[in-house]
Chain A
Amino acid sequence: MIYDCYTIVITGLGGQGLIKIIQILGTALMNEGYKVISSETHGLSQRGGKVTCFLRFGNTLNAPIPMIGTADMIIALEESTIIDALKFTKPDKSTLLIISTYEKNVLGQEYPSIQGLLNNLYERSDKIYFIPAMEIAEKQTGNPKTMNSVILGYITKFLYLNKKVLEESINHNFSETIIELNLKAFNEGLNL
């Protein structure tokens, strides 16, 4: 598959491992021959707060931040954070929304109802996928922290990427002790 410019927006909470996803996916895409650029924010202000990162790849080098209304895929690692990225969805409703069903409550605020959330999502996209990545990770690997590898596996299909390249990148980017677990989680995601 050849992309001129493919834009992924990733939302979640600081500490959820957004940067790891970018490292693994970015390295794999580079090895597939793409020009890749990503942006991320580090540091204190992000821990537990909302974070939005971008990963873009294609034949030419793009800006680290995309235009609104132009994303090809939005991944939310925490369900409610998808809302903050909806301005990046394409008006023709073709943007893929991939949402982990993990919910993190905020003290003193009511968590958005699933119906309210869905109403907003259907207004912006016809391609919405919820995945219980945390449950799958916990059940299949015993470690909920491998949730991001489940998601990586899941999106690999949509991007028509070579499974081997992703696995190599996982090997490369995790410490020895957790590579096997993450490969297992990755394959679980791939086979969903």
Chain B
Amino acid sequence: MEKIYTKIVNGQSGEAKFFLGNEAIVRGAIESGIDVYTFYPGTPSSEVGETFIALFKKVGMKWVESSINEKVAMEVAGAAYARGATAMVGMKNVGLNVASDPLFALATTSPKNENSALVILVADDPQQHSSAVEMDSRNFLKLFKIPALEPGNPQECLEFTKEAFNISKELKLPVIIRTVTMVAHARSNVIVGNIKKSELKNDFDLSKEFNVALRTFFLEMKEDHIYNRMVKALEISEKSKLNRVENENFTNEFELGIITSGVSYSYVVEALNFLGLKAPILKIGIINPLPVRKIISFLDKFKKILIVEENDPYLETQVLAIAHRDNLKVRIFGKDPFSYSKEGLLLPYVGELNPTKVALALINITKLKPKLNLEQILERKYESLTRVPSLCPGCPHRTTGYALQKAVKKVKSTTRKEVYFYQDIGCYTLLALPPFSFANVKYCMGSSIALAQGVTHTSESLNIAIIGDGTFFHSGIPALLNGIYNKAPILVLILDNGWIGMTGQQPHPGSDTLYYAEGDFKKRIYLERLLLGTGAEFDVIKHAEKQDGKYSVELYDLIYRKSLEVLESKNLHVILIQDECIQKTIKRQAIIIRAVDTDSCNNCSICYNQFLCPAIVEIEDNAYIDSGICLGCGVCEEICPNKAIHKEEI
């Protein structure tokens, strides 16, 4: 923690730091005198929250929390903003869907406290490097009608965050900072500014006329929001140096200009340099409201315009409308937002951009022939290994998957019923891949339990919902209550590894923080007590309490018996499987790795072929445990039929 503080907070104005985009956002917020940060972890936004958690007390911030979900995070930060705090809330793109309900009202409210400022960090993930869906959150901007800034590199992450706080404080509107993976997870030199201390006042005004979304007040606030505050936002956008023309004096024979924003700007510069093409670029930093006058005067200078943006044609649709409204004779290239056809598409709707894709679009328009034949390079294909991501060595979900696989096989053979699986968002989603293949339907955070109900009410099959503890707290609880109340005959497996594992083991309300750096700092909510309160039938199985080498067998047996019960009794049943995330366990417990006794091993392949531990491979007709990879969960020792696996002697 000390290291993080030194890295982020130390350093005088003008000093260069090698920052991750997300770290630069934290620094920018601290330079803006931030009081409150709330978040729900989600790649690629998680490091912002983790960094704040590590240093907030020492920085003198009032409050930082990893909230139960994005809606709650938005509400906690929103009311802090209402009472005069400099607040920020962070999430990934799909998190904004969850937080959109409060944000719609919040965007219109009009805090009357001088220091009120709210910045909303939304991290998109084009190419779905670590997301269930690819979603362009910019489309929300027209709904919320709030300013939004899009940085394109770590330095801009710092500067744009500060500017977002300034705009929010001035206009009393929440302001979005929109990043993408290649910005949030880029590292670069960042010149820092000065830290600003909190200016939170003890007195504040929470008058209902400005903060309550209710018909009596709302329309008046909405008038002020649109006709007053957004008009001012437009003026800021027109004047801001964040919206600027680069290389204004450049000309080219094609009379081509380029409009772009964020990280796409850097791809444009790279592609233009590659082609030796000189073209002015309108770089948009404030992506809502767009600087209309600046766009008009830019369009007016060219016969052709290429709009370069990732995913949806958000800028393009608006630029087309502006060109039409002002009757400008300019041909606009990009994605053609009204065709949805892949035919002749210059830039893709789907996936991340890169300089090569932008260069190909420019070649298409200009017919330039660069020395390097890009298409020829792309055509040359090589065969390579397919590698699917895997659960960590020692991951408790692997044990659950292994037990579940055996149980389901037996259920199918005894009952002749079909078995279907409903998945959720977490590391355990990987159980959807072979050989387990536990997935029939999966949508979003917290959906599994309701999805199982949708099929169970309309078929005779066994329907199993698989959900993690973090996701259950996030949005699984209402679906469970719905299922209990409606007597939905489903089996719910809560894979409780104690943490929000996938995004870096952040705590949730059920986390036992006592043994870790966080300490016993919050009131823990025990899942078993919560289940007791619902009146649902449930069992709890804890790996930590079963050190007799029979855990995986007992888990298998329990899932098998309860599956039959669900089919017979027509009642919902929950199994709470408690087995801590190995990445956490190894932080408080010495690793006792396992080894294979080659004399006893008959290479039955169960450990590397069915259990699929990445630490176990086949070498010279024996199973072999890679000591550099094994994290010592010991489950292979349990499942080995020949008792050939034992603790490594040190």
Contacts and interface: CB of A to CB of B under 8 A. Distances in A.
Interface of A: 13-15, 22-23, 26-27, 30, 35-50, 61-70, 80-81, 83-84, 86-87, 91, 105-107, 109, 111-112, 120, 144-145
B201 to A, nearest CB: 38
Contacts of B155: 61
B195 interface: no
Contact of A37 (B186, B390, B430): B186
Most chain B beta-carbon neighbours within 10 Å: one of A23, A42, A91, A106? A42
B387 A62 contact: no
Contact of B130 (A39, A41, A81, A120): A41
Most chain A beta-carbon neighbours within 10 Å: one of B392, B608, B628? B628
A107 B355 CA distance: 35
A50 B511 CA distance: 31
15 contacts: A23-B187, A38-B187, A41-B185, A43-B43, A43-B129, A44-B502, A47-B391, A48-B387, A48-B388, A49-B390, A66-B270, A67-B355, A68-B378, A87-B380, A107-B612
A67 B356 contact: yes
Nearest to B374: A68
Given A65-B354, A84-B384, A38 B188 contact: yes
A107 B270 CA distance: 40
Contacts of B382: 83-84, 86, 120
B359 interface: yes
Given A50-B387, A65-B182, A107-B609, 16 more contacts: A23-B18, A30-B189, A35-B189, A36-B189, A43-B502, A44-B389, A44-B427, A44-B430, A45-B128, A47-B390, A61-B153, A64-B153, A64-B182, A65-B267, A67-B274, A87-B377
B266 A63 contact: yes
Contacts of A41: 129-130, 181, 185
A10 B183 CA distance: 18
B164 interface: no
B509 interface: no
A61 B16 CA distance: 14
A30 B266 contact: no
Nearest to A65: B354
B613 to A, nearest CB: 11
Contacts of A43: 43-44, 129-130, 502-503
The 5 closest A-B pairs by CB, nearest first: A43-B130, A63-B266, A43-B43, A49-B389, A48-B390
Contacts of A62: 266, 270
A43 B130 CA distance: 6
B16 A91 contact: no
Interface of B: 16, 18, 43-44, 46, 128-130, 153-155, 181-183, 185-189, 263, 266-267, 269-271, 274, 354-356, 359, 372, 374, 377-378, 380, 382-392, 427, 429-430, 502-503, 608-609, 612, 614, 617, 628
B389 A36 contact: no
A83 B18 contact: no
A67 B187 contact: no
A12 B188 CA distance: 21
A47 B615 CA distance: 13
A37 B157 CA distance: 13
Contacts of B377: 68-69, 87, 91
A58 to B, nearest CB: 12
Contact of A38 (B186, B274, B354, B503): B186
A61 B188 contact: yes
Contacts of A14: 389
Contacts of B628: 144-145
A81 B383 CA distance: 11
A77 B134 CA distance: 29
A107 B549 CA distance: 27
Contacts of A64: 153, 182-183, 186, 263, 266
B355 A63 contact: yes
A111 B187 contact: no
B359 A67 contact: yes
Nearest to B269: A63
Contact of B18 (A26, A45, A91): A26
A36 B153 CA distance: 11
B430 to A, nearest CB: 7
B591 to A, nearest CB: 13
A47 B274 contact: no
Given A38-B188, A42-B130, A62-B266, A49 B387 contact: yes
Contacts of A38: 186-188
A66 B273 CA distance: 12
B66 to A, nearest CB: 16
Contacts of A109: 385-386
Nearest to B617: A105
B436 to A, nearest CB: 14
Contacts of B430: 44
Contact of A42 (B44, B267, B383): B44
